[in-house]
Amino acid sequence: MPLVAPTRPGRFCANAVYDACNWLVPPGSDQAFCLACRHNGTIPNVSDPPQLAAWQQIEVAKHRLFYTLLRWNLPLKTRNEDPAHGLLFDFLSDPPETQGPKVLTGHDNGLITIALVEADDVEREKRRKGMGEPYRTLIGHFRHEVGHHYWDILVRDGGKLEACRAMFGDDTQDYGAALQRHYADGAPPDWQEHFVSTYATSHPWEDFAETWAHYLHIVDTLEMASAFGLEVKPSLGNTDALSARVNFDPYEANGIRPIIDAWLPFVFAMNCVNRAMGNRDLYPFVLSPAVIQKLGFIHDLVHGRV
């Protein structure tokens, strides 16, 4: 049904009938789906209520991702526009135990697979604890996996390989062997001095994708803080280092420094608020100088400054 507005007539995306999308199709477009949903490949069985509910949650996270990609005007080609490497999402449920292995979330040449079970809070928490992760969310999966896609687009195909290798290491090392070594031996003892997560230590591709995801976490969260006019100003002691006013648009920041200068006091305060409610830290990670430098690389990359 058309949604009429005085200046921008349009209609809802076709997925609105499933309560899976509330975006509009651009005026004058002959597309049935919005800018985010036209990148869907396989969706769950919408006649099955649990699968439909899981897909609805997944779409919330995916649309938040697309907001970011559109804000930066990053390349967004569908599989129809680029059959070899267009961005495509498959949301898959596990087959019966006797009929095949469980679905793994991952990326392969523009195809991002998200395991439908990740929308189950209980199962996702079980996996988080089983893998020793401090953080595991749907939006985290999307931001990480799309980082692999944009490594292909912006780094490999964008002529930035040498600059990226100087920052993240030699990506030509055997990926499978690196993952096996990581799962067998774990991260090095001093990993927090150089990496944002233990998984980032496994291979330069994963270091890039993890850093990319954290950059998106930080920028999007700061934008929300800015929209609410949030300010951190502790009332006791010499607290200049813990003060921040998020009065700028982090999506358009000139460099990584103002983002970090706002993020560290803000997230320290939010972690304390969460602890007061008996919850885990909002952001349970340490940003060392080396990690901040990597975040700066991602910032420059998305803004075309590498």
Task: Provide the CB-side half-sphere exposure for 216 (13 A, CA).
Answer: 28
Domain annotation covers residue 298: yes
pLDDT, tens only, 159-209: 999 999 999 999 999 999 999 999 999 999 999 999 999 999 999 999 999
- Whether the pLDDT of residue 4 is over 50: the answer is no
Domain annotation covers residue 57: no
pLDDT value of position 26: 82
pLDDT value of position 3: 41
To the nearest whole number, what is the mean pLDDT of the chain? 94
- Whether the pLDDT of residue 238 is over 80: the answer is no
Give the least confident one: 167-171, 237-241, 247-251.
237-241
- Whether the pLDDT of residue 10 is over 60: the answer is yes
Print the domain residue range for 219.
Answer: 189-306
Domain annotation covers residue 148: no
Partners of 2 in the β-ladder? 11
Asked if 56 and 19 count as a contact pair (C-beta separation under 8 A), the reply is yes
pLDDT value of position 82: 97
Asked if 162 and 196 count as a contact pair (C-beta separation under 8 A), the reply is no
Closest by CA to 106, choosing from 156, 179, 34, 46, is 179
Closest by CA to 258, choosing from 244, 239, 272, is 244
pLDDT, tens only, 50-83: 999 999 999 999 999 999 999 999 999 999 999 9
Domain annotation covers residue 255: yes
**Section 240-264 average pLDDT:** 93
pLDDT, tens only, 132-141: 999 999 999 9
Domain annotation covers residue 246: yes
Q: What percent of the chain lies above the pLDDT cut of 90?
A: 89
Q: How confident is the model at residue 241 (pLDDT cuts 50, 70, 90)?
A: confident
- Whether the pLDDT of residue 84 is over 50: the answer is yes
The count of domains in the chain is 1
**Section 236-261 average pLDDT:** 88
Phi-psi region of 8 (alpha: psi -120 to 50; beta: other; left: phi over 0): beta
Domain annotation covers residue 196: yes
The token duo for 24 is 């509009």
pLDDT value of position 283: 97
Asked if 299 and 258 count as a contact pair (C-beta separation under 8 A), the reply is no
- Whether the pLDDT of residue 155 is over 60: the answer is yes
Domain annotation covers residue 264: yes
Q: How confident is the model at residue 99 (pLDDT cuts 50, 70, 90)?
A: confident
Closest by CA to 149, choosing from 61, 87, 218, is 87
Domain annotation covers residue 240: yes
- Whether the pLDDT of residue 258 is over 70: the answer is yes
